[in-house]
Chains A and B, each alone.
Chain A
Amino acid sequence: MNERYDAVIIGGGHNGLVAAALLAKAGKRVLVLEKRQTLGGSAATEEIFPGFKVNTGAEDAGLFRPELVEALALERHGLRFVEGPAVAFAPRLDGPGLTLWRDPTRTQAELAERISPKEAASYHRFTQLVARMTQVLDRAMLQTPPNPKEFDPRELLPWAMTGLKLRQLGKRDMMEFLRILPMSVREFLDEWFQDPFLKGLLATAGVAGTMQGPYAAGTAYLFLYHHLGGGQGVRAGRFVQGGVGQLSVALASAATLHGATIRLGAGVARIRTSYGQVTGVVLEDGEEIPARAVLSSADPRRTLFDLLGPQELEPRVMRRVRNIRFRGSTAKVNLALRGLPRFHGQESPEQLTGHIVISPSMEYLERAYDDAKYGRPSQEPALDVVIPTLLDPTLAPEGAHILSATVQYAPYALAEGSWDEGREELGDRVVALLARYAPELPDLVLHRQVLTPLDLEREYGLTEGSIYHGQMDLDQQLFMRPIPGYGQYAMPVGNLFLCGAGAHPGGGITGAPGFNAAREVLQALR
């Protein structure tokens, strides 16, 4: 029989590890159980081809909370962010591409020259507005959302005013904030810009990882969310030295330093309860591990249905869990390349150091979504491509590169056939699309990995391949994440907590759910 831990944490993704490090630092006896042989979960770096350390899932760590880097002294544990001069680059078949530079004045100059001085001026004011709006979201990140009793929306307003300091925005911006949140990213961008190509590039931030097109309400919110890390129109373009998985390695190092134990290859089969209280977990091999509290960074469906069991939930809670929208729509194609490809409309390799985005217009993006809406992978998908080896050559053998494309849309639920049959076809389609923009690319490919939503579900435990552990729709945010009434990390069973992306504030590499959950756990264990 194992000794009893104060907290057992299911999942060694970055959120589970944040919670582990904070709880251990607070003096709790902590055990992390990760099913896979690698840390990092959806943000892992794995040597899937010999000599190539590939970010199999997430790439951009720009959303990660700086507060955590400090609180856990992660730099001392080896964490180093790397940023290139370009944030995003949109290659173009019929002329020079468009680059959003980290240096805003450089971006404005480019926009003034390539599009118009007016568009450049709009861009300047737009990024300032976005920065002010994201400040409000930013304040919500490390807070536990309120839990309006009886779901009375009137209870939210005081919180928004004091907790989020909404008033600091001033009356006009406050109204603007409330107006923008539920908008579609298309309408939002249409209010500011003329150029279809620029808007196509920017709109990707509103739909990344979600089964929504840019014409859907609420995508303006996701756009703002992706700017939390200070993104300049798309997202931060901030990467991790050694691969994104090094973030989790650093977190694990901090956790271990504070006394936490981390076990790999330790899949949890069930969460044990007695009289409505958790008592521990059972591993897939039958090993019993008692615990005072259990934190799960697996998504809410996996946690509450597969690990806890729907029979442990009141029917009204069960229904809500059943109704969480996951609807994964993202695939990943990871390529090992013999050399660096050149893109149409590209002038220098430095343009490729951020996100290389193929989304030439919002209409293109919406049409890509149209296919998915009817259960088909996009005929012409939108691609968010990253070549991490440009900033960190240690990831691949000398002279070789890694090119990873995050692909939208690849709907989890296919109208016809299965992803097991369609996997390589999707890979071919993505490579063919890339080849239109970078003709030498097919000849450079040494290895290829295609991760469909089904693979993300099977291998990374993401229900329906949802990279955010549940869609980032407005009705699945704040006190409604993962389900209404349970937005404060504590789940319906005593001392069971959700600490992953399925909890507020949601998906992406933020560390915020893990941070907030740890605070709630410390309170509960007191």
Chain B
Amino acid sequence: MPIPTPFYPRTSTLSESHEWSEWAGYLAAITYEPTHDREYWAVRNSAGLLDVTPLFKYEVRGPDAERAVNRIMTRDVSRCRVGQVMYSPWCDEDGFVIDDGTVARLAPDRFRITAADPNLRWFQDCSFGLDVEVVDVSRDLAALALQGPKSREVLLAATEDPTLAKLRYFRLAETQLAGAPITVSRTGYTGDLGYELWMAPEHALAVWDRLLEVGRDYGLLPIGLAALDMVRIEAGLLLIEVDYISSHKALIPAQKSTPFDIGLGWTVNLEKEAFVGQRALVRAKAKGPTWSFVGLEIDWISLEELFGKVDLPPQVTGRASRSPIPVYRGDRQIGQVTSSVFSPILKKYVAIGTVEPKEAQPGSPVEIEITVEYHRERARATLVRPPFFNRARSE
């Protein structure tokens, strides 16, 4: 039975659709309104507020904290300054990705890591023998994502803390909101301007209430996972168990991915001090990746032709699709789409996935499988470099 988050007293009364799913053992709203449209547009045009409490959160504390986190992550965490956040995957001994998340440096000897899956044992085992303590703080922290072009204004109004105006991308700050101490990081999973707010569970409702109250003037809406899934595909952001499979959960070796296979090669620093998977990744890099992470734009004309044959306009789902779809070049399958969505803001059917590296030229044509009235057809598409949408860094 999924359990409620600290925001549940509010989110449950706001839910008109009663559409919930389970996220890491918690009840999570898929939508609040019967359809997701307004929630999607809130993120892209004004601001959306998402309960992200279900994320797993860990703290690594102690004199060897930097060494420990650096041994876990593929990025060079020694370069992460206090008040800075880094995105990084972490890998197993064979260089296959276990999970990915953000690493926030709260103090010289204190880091906070977010994760999609439980990782306590892994983090503890990686830091065994070091002078650190790895603590699961998942239940000690409630968290909200405040995302969208108006999120800064909402945040400033709610906190009345003007210094936050200058909070840079992937930096964090301590402040107060509705009398509660909170940590604000300029991070998110939407590709838009946005923040994540971290607080003790007992302050959750006060923070929520205050944000919704001041947010009314800015068009702030509570949003669910349906809208999130659309915007994260537009932003070209990976979802675990959808766009890649955690090596700890893979059933066969072929299901595992190195960071190079899923577009995260840029996070791998092979020159830094030893980390788990390093030796394997040196070899993997020399050998070259098995897959290349790509974006695809599906040709609308092609869809119209295919559906026109049965007198239908193109049928594309409103929400994001997580069904894997084969990608072809000529007669050969060269890869797969793992997430796709019709992007309302771009007015394009877009997808992310992986193809063979030698076939991965941006701009080159491919075909994807599409089912038209129970018949398998192929629609034309073009490879592009993700993201399709990115406003996260902009001032």
Contacts and interface: CB of A to CB of B under 8 A. Distances in A.
Contact of A305 (B93, B129, B130): B129
A309 B122 CA distance: 18
Contact of B130 (A276, A311, A316, A319): A311
B348 interface: no
Contact of A316 (B71, B93, B279): B93
Interface in A277-318: 305, 309-311, 314-316, 318
A276 B276 CA distance: 13
B248 to A, nearest CB: 11
Nearest to A315: B125
Interface in B122-162: 122, 125-126, 128-130
B93 A311 contact: no
A125 interface: no
B129 A315 contact: no
Contacts of A314: 93, 276
Majority-rule SS of A interface residues: helix
Contacts of B71: 311
Interface string B333-372: 0000000000000000000000000000000000000000
A322 interface: yes
A315 B274 CA distance: 13
Contacts, number: 25
Nearest to B72: A315
Given A276-B279, A315-B122, A310 B129 contact: yes
Nearest to A276: B279
B117 to A, nearest CB: 16
Interface in B273-290: 274, 276, 279
A311 B128 CA distance: 7
B125 to A, nearest CB: 4
Contacts of B67: 311
A315 B122 CA distance: 8
Interface in A307-344: 309-311, 314-316, 318-319, 322
Contacts of B128: 310-311, 315, 318, 322
A315 B93 contact: yes
Given A309-B129, A322-B128, A315 B276 contact: yes
Contacts of A319: 125
Contact of A318 (B125, B274, B279): B125
Nearest to B93: A314
Nearest to A311: B129
Interface residues of B, number: 12
A491 to B, nearest CB: 15
Most buried by B among A311, A316, A319: A311
Contacts of A311: 67, 71, 128-130, 274
Nearest to B276: A315
A322 B128 CA distance: 10
A305 B129 CA distance: 8
Contacts of B279: 276
A357 B129 CA distance: 42
A315 to B, nearest CB: 4
A309 B127 CA distance: 11
A249 to B, nearest CB: 37
A65 B71 CA distance: 44
A432 B74 CA distance: 62
A318 B127 CA distance: 10
Nearest to A322: B128
Nearest to B127: A311
A381 to B, nearest CB: 35
A504 B176 CA distance: 62
A304 to B, nearest CB: 10
Contacts of A316: 93
Nearest to B128: A310
A314 B128 CA distance: 11
B90 to A, nearest CB: 11
Contacts of A318: 125, 128-129
Interface string B91-125: 00100000000000000000000000000001001
Nearest to B280: A314
Interface string B245-283: 000000000000000000000000000001010010000
Contacts of B122: 315
A315 B125 CA distance: 6
A305 to B, nearest CB: 7
A60 B71 CA distance: 47
A409 B16 CA distance: 68
Contacts of B130: 311
A487 B125 CA distance: 23
Contacts of A315: 93, 122, 125-126, 128, 276
Contacts of B126: 315
Contacts of A310: 128-129
A316 B274 CA distance: 16
A166 B237 CA distance: 59
A27 B125 CA distance: 41
A314 B130 CA distance: 14
A288 to B, nearest CB: 21
B60 to A, nearest CB: 14
Contacts of A276: 279
Nearest to A306: B129
A484 to B, nearest CB: 15
Contacts of B125: 315, 318-319
A318 B92 CA distance: 13
A271 B391 CA distance: 51
A302 to B, nearest CB: 13
Contacts of A309: 129
A80 to B, nearest CB: 45
A276 B93 CA distance: 14
Contacts of B129: 305, 309-311, 318
A314 B125 CA distance: 9
A179 to B, nearest CB: 36
A305 B130 CA distance: 11
Contacts of B93: 314-316
B298 to A, nearest CB: 42
A310 B279 CA distance: 17
B254 to A, nearest CB: 16
Interface string B16-30: 000000000000000
A314 B129 CA distance: 12
A319 B126 CA distance: 10
A382 B363 CA distance: 81
A322 B125 CA distance: 10
Most buried by A among B67, B71, B129, B274: B129
Nearest to B278: A276
A322 B276 CA distance: 18
A417 to B, nearest CB: 29
Interface string B64-102: 000100010000000000000000000001000000000
A322 B130 CA distance: 14
Interface string B34-73: 0000000000000000000000000000000001000100
Nearest to A273: B274
A378 B93 CA distance: 44
A346 to B, nearest CB: 53
Interface of A: 276, 305, 309-311, 314-316, 318-319, 322
8 contacts: A309-B129, A310-B128, A310-B129, A311-B71, A314-B276, A316-B93, A318-B128, A318-B129
Given A276-B279, A314-B276, A316-B93, 12 more contacts: A310-B128, A311-B67, A311-B128, A311-B130, A311-B274, A315-B93, A315-B122, A315-B128, A315-B276, A318-B125, A318-B129, A322-B128
Q: Which 3 A-B pairs have the closest CB atoms?
A: A310-B129, A314-B93, A315-B125
